[in-house]
Structure 1
C-alpha cells in the first residue's frame, strides 16, 4: 500500500513513477526489523547517506543494493533539508534528505539530479535531490 505522502510526491512530480518493494532483513512475522536504517549511496567517487524510517523505503533500498550491475534500478528521491552544520547521518555534508519524504522511483526529472557536492555547494538549487548515478552500497540498522 502506498502512503499518502508518496502519492503526493508522485503527483507533485507529474510523472509516472512506481515504487518497489523487496524483502530486506525479515523478522519472524515477515516484516522488516525496525524502521531506522541508514543507506549509503555511491556513484563511484562520492558517497552520501540517507536515513530511512519507512518499511517500504527500507525494502526498496535493499532491492537497489541487490540489483545486479547493468540492470535497471530505482533512484532515491527526497526533499533536501539544509541544516547549516554537519549532519549527524550524512557527514561531512551540511544537508540531508528528509527521512519522511524519501521515495525510490523508476524515473525523475533532470532538475534534481547531480553529485552530492552539487547539493553542498548550492549548484543544485532544487528542493529535491534525485541522483541518477548513485547506487546503494551499504545499509546499516541504527539505534535512535
Structure 2
C-alpha cells in the first residue's frame, strides 16, 4: 500500500474525509483528523474573502496546520517566500509559496501582510507573504 492509499484509508477509518462528486478520488481532511507521517498536504487559507493554497511538506508545519484546523489556538501566522510565474497548487493565482520556506511564525512584519490579490498585483513590498488574518479552511493530502 503506497503513502497515498495509507493516508486515504487512515483518514477514512477516522471518518475524516469527504469524497468529491467529480469522480476523482479527492479527499479533504475535516476537523478531528490527524496527519499521516510521510504524506504531504495542500493547505487552503482564507484571508478575508480570498483563498490561497500552499504545499506543505514539513511534518511539524503539517501538524500545526492540523491543529489550527481542529480549533487549537496557536500564535501562528503563515509565512513563506513568494515565487512568481509558477502557481503550483495555488490554482487561480500566478504565484506560489515556496514549500521549503513555508512555516508558521509568531512575529511578522507588516510589509508582508495583505490579501492574496495584493501579492498577485505585486503590492506586497516583501519577498515573503504573511497574512495575519489567514485561517486554515481545508487540508488535502497530496496524491
Q: Secondary structure at the match of 1:99?
A: coil
**2:54 aligned residue:** 50
Q: Which residue of 2 aligns with 1:92?
A: 92
> Counterparts of 2:128 and 2:74 in 1: how far apart (Å)?
22
State the Cα deviation string for residues 108-132 of structure 1 (Å, max 9, x = none): 1111101000000111121000000
Q: Which residue of 1 aligns with 2:102?
A: 102
1:33 to partner: Cα distance = 3.2
Contact 2:46 2:135 in 1 (8 A): yes
Segments of 5+ residues of structure 1 without an aligned counterpart are: 1-22, 27-31
Specify the alignment match of 1:142 in structure 2.
Answer: 142
Where in structure 2 are there 5+ consecutive unaligned residues? 1-31
Structure possessing the higher radius of gyration over alpha carbons: 2
TM-score (norm 2): 0.71
Structure 2 Cα separation of the partners of residues 132 and 50 of structure 1: 15
The separation in 2 between residues aligned to 1:103 and 1:77, in whole angstroms, is: 5
Contact 1:24–1:59 under 8 Å retained in 2: no
Q: Distance in 2 between matches of 1:97 and 1:127?
A: 10
Instruction: Give the deviation of 1:25 after TM superposition.
Output: 2.1
Distance 1:103 1:122 in 2: 21
* RMSD of aligned Cα (Å): 1.9
Counterpart of 2:114 in structure 1 is: 114
Change (3 A) 1:34 1:89: same
Distance (Å, rounded) in 2 between the aligned partners of 1:96 and 1:109? 20
For residues 81 and 33 of structure 2, what CA distance do their matches in structure 1 show? 24
